Amino acid sequence: MMLFCSRGASTVPKEQIKDNGCSCPGCGVFAKYELEGGWFCIYGKEGKKV
């Protein structure tokens, strides 16, 4: 399992990443550190802006 919330965004351009939904809210790290946004793999440590 990759922890993109702590490692940063993928090096693949976000236009080339297929969005199959976000798994972040189901991760214990997400809840423990009260993270917001999700989609860290695409958008980096700031997460997806709504």
pLDDT, mean over the chain: 84
pTM of the full structure: 0.69
Q: CA–CA separation, 24 vs 8, rounded Å?
A: 13
- Name the more confident of 31 and 2: 31
Q: Is the pLDDT of residue 1 over 70?
A: no
For residue 45, give the nearest of 31, 36, 34, 29 by alpha carbon.
36
Beta strands (DSSP E) in 1-50 are none
The first and second tokens of residue 28, run together, are: 């214990």
Cβ neighbours of 30 (radius 10 Å): 20
Question: Tell me, what's the pLDDT at 2?
Answer: 62
The two three-digit tokens of residue 11, written as one number: 């090096």
Does the structure show a pLDDT above 90 at 16? yes
